[in-house]
Chain A
Amino acid sequence: MLNRQGRPSAPQAHGVSDPAAGMGDQAARLQGDANRATGSNPEAHPTFTGNKALAQIEPLLFEIGRYDTTGVDLDEPEDFEPRLGGLERKEAIGLPGLSEPETMRHYVRLSQQNYGIDTGLFPLGSCTMKHNARLNERMARLPGFSDVHPLQPVSTVQGALELMNELGRYLVTLTNMTAVALSPKAGAHGELCGMMAIKAAIEAKGEGKTRNVVLVPDSAHGTNPATAALIGFKVKPVPAREDGWVHVEDVKERLGPDVAAIMLTNPNTCGLFEPQVVEIAKAIHDAGAYFYCDGANFNAIVGKAKPGDLGVDAMHINLHKTFSTPHGGGGPGSGPVVLSERLAPFAPVPFVRMKDGSFELVEQNDEAGGTAAPFGRMTAFHGQMGMYVRALSYMLSHGSDGMKQASEDAVLNANYIRAGLADLMSLPFGNKPCMHEVLFDDAWLKDTGVTTLDVAKAMIDEGYHPMTMYFPLVVHGAMLIEPTESESKTSLDLFVAMLRDLAMAAKNGEKERFTGAPYHAPRRRLDETRAARSPVLKWSPPAPVAEAAE
């Protein structure tokens, strides 16, 4: 296998498949030195334009735009009487204009500076940046899915409703729960949905005034305590133990008639499966409280364990993590919530229901029927239709065996990285198997003068998006790496070799390689302190040249 510089990459070159042993120290040193000897020091060969060959310097839209240019040709409006009651604009709006080719180049150049899952390995732990299958995109663009409007008569969108119903059935089956709310827009919104269902159940029992405490382990996602606090619960932390697990006795100590719920992430943010989860669920239920599970890490256990079997009452599922729909700028998130039998009656509207051979949308609380008592509505419409299509496309194309294998491969890949780096980097909870992500701390950097942040910046120079840093907070200088099942062994070998080279460089005192990084990125290191202390949030036109010259 050749890397981008055309040199054989070490593991295969030495004919050894174990990356820990394969990337011999000497080989790695040579490779590292070769990089820097032949390597590009951009400062040594400055260009006239500032561009670096294909990497073009792209100024802000405001800096390249002109007020007399536009890419569209609109007729001037005829005279008209403004009806804005004197609130109309008095002067030009000041938006820069570009011609169509200039606009195209601006955005294409910006997109070339982006690093995404389609560019390379994206090891952000707890974020699950997995492959976004092209088949999903094809399905989402089918006219019957892409063109539907939320206010269309339900008789004209039966196919879309059937798809939502089928997606819901998959989610309920995979989790062994009773009901699903598809509408939440993403993870934290899903948490809110689940916790509102719990609150409604508590109020229905007449305990709304007295049960107002939510237990949250120290290692939880920050959104967990924020969600609980947002709807008026008091948050009580459950301290972290040295083994990275939540212990049932620590939970029991804090239980009482005032406890409404626990919010537990499983597998947890340390990348470990909580072995006492069933005992914790029992203790919670015995105390009359509910078990909210943060499903951000569900991708590690799909097809292997069902949260309903573990005693979970409510769990959100990030379709944009576990079920391969795009993240961030690539598309909106989607955070369906599954509910246990105890919470199912409180599921919010709207939801899809089969009636007389066709699908209907239940839009109002009083249409829910039976013993159902929906807590209300969280969104104006029905959720992220485009994401439902992509997620179901992923499910159907993988099948239940494929989804199970994806979980297994995700766990295998994370453990492959753990095994490949355990001798050079430090594992806070000992060298024990992890789930879909592996957590390192910064003990291995002690006395090197290099920090977790510096390592992350050096990874950018090596062409990788950094892993999650400084989270979870229970570990000092945390580096949380999640490769996902999408990465091949070849890809993992190069990633491990790269980190081994960095680790050895840090230990050999090559501090500058880290503290000055990134050297090769379109922009050098940001002054994060200054950016946070005095952020510039608005573009201001530069001073006129005459003044600037003075």
Chain B
Amino acid sequence: MTTRYTKDHEYIRVEGDAGIVGISDYAQGQLGDVVFVELPSVGKTLSKGDEAAVVESVKAASEVYAPVSGEVVEVNSELEASPGTVNEDPAGRGWFMKIRLTNESELDGLMTEEQYGEFVKSIS
């Protein structure tokens, strides 16, 4: 199981041929209280960098981009009723969607946990 991060603060935790996508703890902290999450429909095909979801907080609405290319196989529909989960447990219950990867090598272009930690330190 590997977790990779994007510069836009999405994470993807790969298990088998699919990856769970969400936003990082740093991202939820920057956004403030999340009040609404718009998720893609299951079956949607995304290219890396496509707008995959929208997260809205008391401060701003932001896009969540697909960290890799693939098909959306599952979404966390519980977020629609309780968007605050994204703040409480971004890496766990606050996940957004599960994507079946079409090109695993795209993961190599993303940051490791350690690299992401350094990246966050450099911008904060």
- CB within 8 Å of B: which residues of A? 470, 473, 528-529, 532-533
Which one of B58, B60, B84 lies within 8 Å of A473 (CB-CB)? B60
Judged by a CB distance under 8 angstroms, whether B33 is at the interface is yes
Chain B 46-89 residues near chain A, CB threshold 8 A: 56, 58-60, 83-84
Residues of A within 8 A of B58 (CB): 528-529, 532
Q: Across the interface, do A532 and B60 meet the contact criterion of CB distance under 8 Å?
A: no
Q: Across the interface, do B84 and A533 meet the contact criterion of CB distance under 8 Å?
A: yes
Q: Across the interface, do A532 and B59 meet the contact criterion of CB distance under 8 Å?
A: no
Judged by a CB distance under 8 angstroms, whether B116 is at the interface is no
The interface size bin for chain B is under 10
12 further interface pairs, Cβ-Cβ under 8 Å (given A473-B60, A529-B84, A532-B56):
A470-B59, A470-B60, A528-B33, A528-B58, A529-B33, A529-B58, A532-B33, A532-B36, A532-B58, A533-B33, A533-B35, A533-B36
Q: Which residue of A lies closest to B61 (CB)?
A: A222
Distance, CA A529 to CA B83, complexed state (A): 10
Residues of A within 8 A of B84 (CB): 529, 533
Residues of A within 8 A of B56 (CB): 532
Distance, CA A171 to CA B19, complexed state (A): 55
Which one of A470, A473, A529 lies within 8 Å of B35 (CB-CB)? A529
Most chain-A Cβ atoms within 10 A of its Cβ — which of B36, B59, B83, B84? B59
Q: How far is the CB of B122 from chain A (nearest CB, A)?
A: 14
Distance, CA A473 to CA B58, complexed state (A): 14
Chain B 64-122 residues near chain A, CB threshold 8 A: 83-84
Q: How far is the CB of A214 from chain B (nearest CB, A)?
A: 16
Residues of B within 8 A of A473 (CB): 60
Residues of A within 8 A of B59 (CB): 470
Q: Main secondary structure on chain B at its contact with chain A?
A: loop
Q: Which residue of A lies closest to B84 (CB)?
A: A533
Residues of B within 8 A of A533 (CB): 33, 35-36, 83-84
Distance, CA A528 to CA B83, complexed state (A): 14
Q: How far is the CB of B29 from chain A (nearest CB, A)?
A: 12
Q: Enumerate the 7 nearest inter-chain pairs by beta-carbon distance, A residue then B residue, closest first.
A: A532-B35, A529-B33, A528-B58, A533-B35, A470-B59, A529-B58, A532-B58
Q: How far is the CB of B5 from chain A (nearest CB, A)?
A: 19
Distance, CA A295 to CA B60, complexed state (A): 23
Q: How far is the CB of B53 from chain A (nearest CB, A)?
A: 17
* 8 A-B residue pairs with CB within 8 Å: A473-B60, A528-B58, A532-B58, A533-B33, A533-B35, A533-B36, A533-B83, A533-B84
Q: How far is the CB of A222 from chain B (nearest CB, A)?
A: 8
Residues of B within 8 A of A532 (CB): 33, 35-36, 56, 58
Q: How far is the CB of A420 from chain B (nearest CB, A)?
A: 27
Distance, CA A528 to CA B60, complexed state (A): 12
Residues of A within 8 A of B35 (CB): 529, 532-533
Render B11-37 as a binary contact track against A, CB cut-off 8 A, 1 for contact: 000000000000000000000010110
Distance, CA A533 to CA B60, complexed state (A): 14
Distance, CA A532 to CA B33, complexed state (A): 10
Most chain-B Cβ atoms within 10 A of its Cβ — which of A470, A473, A528, A529? A529
Distance, CA A470 to CA B59, complexed state (A): 7
Q: How far is the CB of B47 from chain A (nearest CB, A)?
A: 13
Q: Which residue of B lies closest to A534 (CB)?
A: B35
Q: How far is the CB of A277 from chain B (nearest CB, A)?
A: 27
Residues of A within 8 A of B60 (CB): 470, 473
Q: Which residue of A lies closest to B59 (CB)?
A: A470
Q: How far is the CB of B9 from chain A (nearest CB, A)?
A: 14
Distance, CA A424 to CA B33, complexed state (A): 29
Distance, CA A470 to CA B56, complexed state (A): 14
Distance, CA A528 to CA B34, complexed state (A): 11
Residues of B within 8 A of A470 (CB): 59-60
Distance, CA A106 to CA B60, complexed state (A): 34
Q: How far is the CB of B15 from chain A (nearest CB, A)?
A: 30
Residues of B within 8 A of A528 (CB): 33, 58
Q: Which residue of B lies closest to A473 (CB)?
A: B60
Q: Which residue of B lies closest to A222 (CB)?
A: B61
Distance, CA A68 to CA B18, complexed state (A): 65
